[in-house]
């Protein structure tokens, strides 16, 4: 590993092949210094990031590439979406989307290692693929990035160049809870038992579930990501003290990042470990909690497309739905408000016209109630959805459609 400054970085970038593919830390771990240098010194390149946030380089010559679309790439004309479960994205990178360069955002050096800190995810697979196929690995080592353990630890020998920086980490805004989100969170929390293992997606509904679990004991965390809601459960003593918290990426407040630093209670694993349905199925009473945009009467969920355009992606929800249903005592919750206030339409529809992201959940939960779906017949699924989850304004239409489909 060679320590360089930003001027020396320019010559490193000049030696990359034409139109290189750059895989960079995503979510809230954007390597801003490295991306700024790429923007200024590489005329054309492909930028692959997961859940990229606002502020990434954007100009002609830069093509975006991702399997999970964040704010920084959403509805972008130069976006190339790669449909993939997150657990399988390392395979895609290894065989189909090999990087010419990997930009990682790490902690300061500690002994002969750095840590990927808050964002592990697909990065170990990207580093291995780059090293196996002649790519370069460049780290920006940040004084403010927490040092985390597990697969986050990267040896200096795995890095080609390191640039030292001191820049604040992006923090997650405090969640604002709508009344529907709080109601949904309470309904899901009421179905979660002591000593369950939790996976929670991103958004107000998963956060509202956590805020309603204050009276539980012995809860465990095996999840793709977590934020301050899980940290709050830790502070309240709700989590099992003998079991490590497992995640692949984290974002939240400065207080959360400080707690993560050198904290051996948290293990950060690569995505093909956290999201492997076999590993998920081994967890005690695995409870998978995710949000959808639409559900239909056949319990098919759209959590990825709006008006035919990609909005997000599969992410990890499909991995955790399958894994949780194979866990002894495990269940999959798919949550959404029953009514879209801007469009004035039901979010539970007769049949999906958008792409199907997932299907067969244990419960579909809205502020109206929890509809049991798994193990029921098609007719029972439809009846439970209409009776327990559908907004009153849409029930009459959905009863008619269910009858038309032969479900009732």
Q: What is the pLDDT of residues 194-239, one digit of tens each?
A: 999 999 877 788 889 998 999 999 999 999 999 999 999 999 999 9
The reported pLDDT for the residue numbered 177 is 82
Reported as a pLDDT band with limits 50, 70 and 90, residue 289 is very high
Compute φ and ψ for 351, nearest 5 degrees.
Answer: -150, 135
Whether pLDDT at 47 is above 80: yes
Compute φ and ψ for 378, nearest 5 degrees.
Answer: -55, -40
Both 12 and 41 in one domain: the answer is: yes
Both 295 and 336 in one domain: the answer is: yes
The answer to whether residue 263 is domain-embedded is no
Q: What mean pLDDT comes out for the span 158-179?
A: 92
The reported pLDDT for the residue numbered 76 is 97
Q: What mean pLDDT comes out for the span 7-28?
A: 97
The answer to whether residue 238 is domain-embedded is no
Both 194 and 61 in one domain: the answer is: no
Three-state DSSP state, 190: coil
Of 165, 192, 216, the residue at which a domain comes to its end is 165
Both 279 and 382 in one domain: the answer is: yes
Lowest model confidence (mean pLDDT) among 184-188, 197-201, 204-208, 281-285: 204-208
Q: Could you tell me the sign of the dihedral formed by the alpha carbons of 143, 148, 151, 156, in that order? A: positive
Which residues are bridge partners to 47 per DSSP?
22, 64
SS (H, E, C) the chain: CEEECHHHHHHHHHCCCCCCEEEECCCCCCCHHHHHHHHHHCCCEEEECCCCCCCCCCCCCEEEEECCCCCCCCCCCCEEECCCCHHHHHHHHHHCCCCCEEEEEECCCECCEEECCCECECHHHHHHHHHHCCCEEEEEEECCCCCCEECCEEEHHHCCEEEEECCCCCCCCCCCCCHHHHHHHHHHHCCCCCCCEEEECCCHHHHHHHHCCCCCCCEEEECCEECHHHHHHHHCCCECCCCCEEECEECCCHHHHHHHCCCCCEEECEHHHHCCHHHHHCCCCEEEEEECCEEECCCEEECCEECCEECCCCCCHHHHHHHHHHCCCCEEEEECCCEECCCCEECEECCCCCCCCEECCCEEEECCEEEECCCCCHHHHHHHHHHHCCCHHHHHHHHHHHHHCCCC
Question: Rounded to whole angstroms, how far apart are CA atoms 259 and 254?
Answer: 9
Both 379 and 315 in one domain: the answer is: yes
Both 215 and 192 in one domain: the answer is: yes
Mean pLDDT for the chain overall: 96
The answer to whether residue 266 is domain-embedded is no
The reported pLDDT for the residue numbered 176 is 80
Question: Rounded to whole angstroms, how far apart are CA atoms 181 and 187?
Answer: 10
pLDDT tens-digit map of 314-325? 999 999 999 999
Q: H/E element holding 402?
A: helix 392-404
How large a percentage of the chain has pLDDT more than 90?
95
Both 318 and 362 in one domain: the answer is: yes
Active site residue 224: yes
pLDDT tens-digit map of 66-124? 999 999 999 999 999 999 999 999 999 999 999 999 999 999 999 999 999 999 999 99
The answer to whether residue 240 is domain-embedded is no
Both 68 and 191 in one domain: the answer is: no
* Helix orientation angle between 378-388 and 392-404, rounded to the nearest 10 degrees: 160
| Virtual torsion, Cα 38, 42, 48, 53, nearest 10 deg | 50
Reported as a pLDDT band with limits 50, 70 and 90, residue 173 is confident
E strands, 170-319, are 197-200, 220-221, 225-226, 245-247, 249-250, 266-268, 286-291, 294-296, 300-302, 305-306, 309-310
Both 339 and 397 in one domain: the answer is: yes
CATH assignment at residue 62: 3.40.1080.10
CATH assignment at residue 361: 3.40.1080.20
Whether pLDDT at 6 is above 90: yes
Both 340 and 382 in one domain: the answer is: yes
Both 282 and 331 in one domain: the answer is: yes
Catalytic residue among 119, 224, 272, 367: 224
Q: What mean pLDDT comes out for the span 153-168?
A: 97
The answer to whether residue 253 is domain-embedded is no
The reported pLDDT for the residue numbered 214 is 92
CA-based nearest residue to 309, from 92, 72, 69:
69
The answer to whether residue 308 is domain-embedded is yes
Identify the domain containing residue 205 by its residue range: 179-224+275-404
The answer to whether residue 93 is domain-embedded is yes
Looking up tokens 């010194």 gives 41
The answer to whether residue 64 is domain-embedded is yes
How large a percentage of the chain has pLDDT more than 70?
100
Tell me how many domains the chain contains: 2
Both 146 and 203 in one domain: the answer is: no
């Amino acid at each position: 590993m060679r320590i360089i400054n930003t001027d020396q970085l320019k010559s490193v970038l000049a030696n990359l092949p034409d139109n290189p593919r750059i895989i960079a830390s995503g979510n809230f771990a954007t390597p801003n210094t490295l991306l700024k240098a790429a923007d200024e010194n590489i005329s054309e390149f492909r930028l692959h990031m997961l859940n990229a946030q606002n502020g990434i380089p954007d100009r002609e010559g830069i093509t975006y590439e991702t399997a999970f679309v964040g704010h920084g790439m959403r509805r972008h004309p130069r976006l190339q979406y790669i449909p993939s479960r997150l657990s399988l994205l390392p395979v895609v990178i290894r065989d189909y989307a090999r990087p010419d360069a990997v930009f990682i955002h790490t902690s300061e050096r500690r002994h002969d290692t750095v840590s990927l800190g808050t964002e592990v995810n697909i990065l170990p697979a990207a580093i291995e693929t780059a090293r196996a196929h002649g790519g370069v690995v460049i780290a920006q080592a940040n004084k403010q990035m927490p040092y985390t353990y597990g697969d986050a630890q990267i040896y200096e020998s795995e890095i080609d160049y390191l640039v030292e920086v001191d820049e604040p980490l992006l923090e997650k805004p405090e969640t604002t809870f709508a009344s529907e989100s709080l109601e949904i969170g309470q309904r899901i929390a009421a179905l979660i038992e002591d000593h369950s293992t939790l996976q929670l997606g991103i958004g107000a509904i998963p956060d509202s579930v956590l805020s309603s679990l204050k009276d539980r004991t012995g809860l465990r965390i095996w999840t793709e990501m977590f934020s301050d809601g899980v940290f709050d459960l830790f502070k309240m003593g709700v989590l099992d003290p003998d079991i490590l918290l497992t995640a692949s990426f984290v974002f939240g407040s400065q207080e959360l990042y400080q707690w993560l630093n050198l904290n051996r209670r948290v293990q950060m694993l690569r995505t093909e470990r956290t999201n492997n349905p076999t590993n998920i199925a081994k967890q005690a009473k695995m409870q998978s909690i995710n949000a959808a945009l639409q559900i239909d009467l056949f319990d098919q969920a759209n959590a990825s497309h709006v008006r035919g355009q990609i909005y997000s992606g599969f992410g990890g929800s499909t991995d955790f739905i399958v894994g949780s249903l194979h866990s002894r005592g495990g269940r999959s919750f798919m949550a959404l408000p029953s009514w879209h206030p801007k469009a004035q339409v039901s979010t539970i529809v007769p049949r999906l016209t958008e792409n199907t992201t997932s299907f067969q959940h244990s419960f579909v939960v809205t502020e109206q109630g929890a509809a049991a779906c798994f193990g029921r017949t098609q007719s029972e699924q439809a009846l439970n959805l209409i009776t327990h989850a559908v907004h009153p304004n849409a029930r009459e239409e959905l009863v008619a459609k269910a009858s038309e489909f032969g479900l009732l």
